[in-house]
Amino acid sequence: MPSYLKWQRPLQVVTSTSWVHRGETVNDFVRSNRYHLTSEDRDVYRRFARLALPRHTSYPTAPTWSTDYRTADFTEDLDGVRRRNDVVSLYVHLPFCRQLCYYCACTKEIVSDASRRKLDPADELLNGVEIEIDHLARSLGELGIEQLHWGGGSPTFLSSSQLVRLFESIQKRFPATKSAEIAVEIDPRITSAEQLETLRQLGFNRISLGIQDFDEKVQRAVNRRQPLETVEAAVETCRRLKFESINFDMIYGLPFQTLESMEETVAKVVKLSPDRIAFYRLAMIPEMFRWQNVFKPADLPAGDLPLELNLLAINKFLAAGYDFIGLDHFAKPDEPLAVAAADGSLRRNFQGMTTQKELEIIGIGPSAISQLHSAIAQNVKSSHEWRVNVESNFPIERGLRLSDDDRIRQEILQQLYSFGRVDTQRVSQRFGVSFSDYFHDELGRLRELEALGVVRIGERIELTEPLGRLLVRVPAAIFDRYLPPRAFMEGLPVGQSSAVG
């Protein structure tokens, strides 16, 4: 493992291939020493936890994208994708859900069973997807798929026959390679064994289950009743069908979560033994996601409790043998996500932490986002408007063409969020700049964080462990050119981003 990929403070490089501490790997060392904060660290953490700052699932972040970026720009940028690549990553956004989950920050449309019996919106969606795929095929030519991800919404809102139709329409134009990662998000409450069998027969090898929390009181508060038995049955079926990787999505910071309830939830998760876990902090922005106003402030974890919930889960997952990856992901040591963390191919994007960071991502469907080397582009959000627009061309609503400065800062943020460090020499060599000159002002602000024990500045910029890693969004804000210079200390106005801690 290259020396710049790990971040534990007392470790020494004793070989060229691995970080070790007295013969232990970093995750082994953390497992045996509990992930905890000193009283001084806690004071610093509290100072920053209340600040609203971006999570940087993209850079530049969505508020900076412009409606001046249109279809013609995207078409031109796709030509560059065709010239640069033999394979790409495709993301398909399927926005429909049967029921609103009150925590949700995704683009979705709620369709009741009664409404669907009158008119199934999935049929019109698939008609539009097939048109959009045809547009892409004309621009991209014969490219293969190395990654395919279906997200939502709830992709298993689609019936088995609709799932087959969607997959075949993609394969017809963009065939998957033999090594392709083919992943889908499912809602265990509405996903049948037949649908899982269909997905596996089509070639899906990775599956992500929305879990959030197993406590019944929490589930009622967020409007997502999902008994443990339902999840157990889905996992059992996925294992019988030999899906190669099972992921659980979880959230902390939800109403009525306590240390006791979280400990029980985590114990159930560990027993079910998913291959990956995404353990997200609730993005509480009721000004943006108005349905979150149903949450009463008194019911939400407050004070140090969100931190304690996070630390409890981190320690439990580490003790169970998972590697801690990035800001909020866990994976078994032989799982491809952990392998990507070790070999440097890990990346952060709208899907969380993923592998194969050099792949360009092309989004299909309402609100889908394309992340290209040269640009970011987002489709029209409303499924109806998207369907009307896709008839004539790419249904682009907004985007941004990346500048040289954007690409430099994007690389820095990828290194920070994925590996907890910035290899300043590597950045200088790759982009032909003097890091210390180019980022003179940023380094000055970073020294304020160094004095607080959040980062160390030397040949590399490194997050301290654990304080800096938990507060990664704070030093990351320093390198975000689109934020006010003091945002890392003062945060953003209410409603623009979620709180750090």
**Statement: residue 495 has pLDDT above 90:** no
Q: What is the CA radius of gyration of the chain?
A: 22
The answer for 32, left when phi > 0, alpha when psi is -120 to 50, beta otherwise, is alpha
Predicted confidence (pLDDT) per residue in 121-133, tens digit: 999 999 999 999 9
Mean per-residue pLDDT for 439-444?
A: 98
CA dist 129 and 116 (Å) reads: 19
Give the residues across from 88 on adjacent strands: 145
Predicted confidence (pLDDT) per residue in 193-229, tens digit: 999 999 999 999 999 999 999 999 999 999 999 999 9
Give the other-Cβ count within 10 Å of 11's Cβ: 19
Task: Give the per-residue pLDDT at 31.
Answer: 53
CA dist 121 and 123 (Å) reads: 5
CA dist 480 and 489 (Å) reads: 13
CA dist 1 and 171 (Å) reads: 36
What residue spans define the domains of the chain? 34-58+402-490
What are the percentages of helix, strand and coil residues in the chain, rounded to 5? 45, 20, 35
CA dist 268 and 235 (Å) reads: 12
Q: Respond yes or no on whether the N-terminal peptide bond of residue 155 is cis (omega within 30° of 0).
A: no
Chain centre to alpha carbon of residue 454:
23
Residue linked to tokens 């070989």: 15
Task: Give the per-residue pLDDT at 35.
Answer: 85
Q: Which tokens is 422 given?
A: 């910035």
3-class SS string, 188-202: CCCCCHHHHHHHHHH
CA dist 474 and 327 (Å) reads: 12
CA dist 184 and 150 (Å) reads: 5
Q: Which tokens is 82 given?
A: 């065709």
Task: Give the per-residue pLDDT at 339.
Answer: 96
DSSP code, position 355: S
Residue type, 112: S
CA distances from 372 to 45, 70, 323 (A): 35, 15, 29
Output the pTM of the full model.
Answer: 0.91
Mean per-residue pLDDT for 37-48?
A: 96
Architecture of the domain spanning 34-58+402-490: Orthogonal Bundle (1.10)
